[in-house]
Amino acid sequence: MENSRVVVVDQLMDNYAYLVIDERSGVAGVVDVAEADRVLHAAEREGVRIVAILSTHCHFDHVGGNDELLAALPPGSVQVFGHRADAERIPGITRPLEDGEDFALGAMHGRAIFIPAHTRGHLAYYFAEAGAVFTGDTLFAGGCGRIFEGDAAQMMSSLGRLAGLPDPTLVYCGHEYTRRNLEFAAMLEPSNPALAQRRREVDMLLEQGGRTVPTTVALEKATNPFLRTQSPELRASVREQIPDVGDDAVSVLAATRLLKDNF
């Protein structure tokens, strides 16, 4: 991470925007803008110039500030990334991306990872050199997003692609939902020691006014129920509440998501 740094910017009630800063050039991309003024203040405070908006998906709490941010910056100086399938719903988009497309941010290289299911055009932004991924409303710390425009099989494969990144990869997600997510996780896996420890750490962090981002791929694999459809304890808990759940991972994920929707 020596050539780059990530600055978290609080947005709305529990959203996060992120400045991804290339230290070598002093430029930054901002992942998901709901409130332009707070993002602009953060950029000013950090002494960086915003040259890109990296929209993960089209929901208002992630792109609602695009137009205002663009209006506040020199015309033509900011690229706006998003997935092609969400393009008509991402304000100001200049660069519709496909899965696997590379892009430059200053001297940094980013890659778009297509992870549909929350919306049909959801993207993650992965910076291999920095070891960081921005997952929007697909992979949360301790949970996953609701399936609005896809199905459980799609969510499974989208989550699988993120879980397949290197273990130490830092995961920056779109919302501070972690405490409630882990409460749900603990209901399904009460004997998971990594989960119990994480809950204690998260409670302490939040009590001190901290944030629970970033997390890591390794920690998510150890504690996030949506990445743990193979766990016998999780399966037994799910089956207790939804007796006719199928044996395959997608059915377990679908049932887990349903339980979370009603939690």
Contact set for Fe ion, span 56-75 (CB under 5 A): 61
Sheet of strand 4-11: strand arrangement: 4-11, 15-22, 27-31, 49-54, 79-83, 95-97
Amino acid (one-letter) located at 116: P
Residue 106 or residue 136: which is nearer to Zn ion going by CB?
Answer: 136
CB of 54 to Zn ion, least distance (A): 15
| Assigned token pair, 84 | 């092609």
Residue 22 or residue 137: which is nearer to Fe ion going by CB?
Answer: 137
3-11, 83-91, 117-125, 174-182 -> range binding Fe ion (CB under 5 A):
174-182
Residue 86 touching Zn ion (CB under 5 A): no
Q: Cα dist. 153→103, 135, 229, 254, 258 in Å?
A: 28, 18, 12, 8, 14
Peptide bond before residue 214 is cis, with ω within 30 degrees of 0: yes
Contact partners, residue 69, CB within 8 Å, separation at least 6 = 30, 33, 36, 39, 40, 50, 53, 78
CB of 58 to Zn ion, least distance (A): 8
Residue 137 or residue 176: which is nearer to Zn ion going by CB?
Answer: 137
CB of 200 to Zn ion, least distance (A): 29
Contact partners, residue 238, CB within 8 Å, separation at least 6 = 188, 245, 252, 255, 256, 259
CB of 26 to Fe ion, least distance (A): 29
Amino acid (one-letter) located at 160: G
Q: Could you tell me which of 135, 92, 94 has the C-alpha nearest to residue 115?
A: 135
Residue 137 touching Fe ion (CB under 5 A): yes
Q: Which residues are catalytic, by number?
A: 57, 59, 61-62, 118, 137, 175
Out of 22, 59, 83, 225, the residue judged to bind Zn ion by CB under 5 A: 59
Question: Would you tell me how many other CB atoms lie within 10 Å of the CB of residue 42?
Answer: 20
53-61, 99-107, 165-173, 245-253 -> range binding Zn ion (CB under 5 A):
53-61
Site track 34-53 with Fe ion (rule: CB under 5 A), x = hit: --------------------
Contact set for Zn ion, span 122-141 (CB under 5 A): 137
**Cα gap 176→256, rounded to integer Å:** 20
Numbers of helices and strands, H then E, in the chain: 9, 14
Residue 29 or residue 174: which is nearer to Zn ion going by CB?
Answer: 174
67-75, 132-140, 161-169, 216-224 -> range binding Fe ion (CB under 5 A):
132-140
Question: Which residues in this chain contact Fe ion in the complex, by CB under 5 A?
Answer: 61, 137, 174
Binding site for Zn ion (CB under 5 A): 59, 137
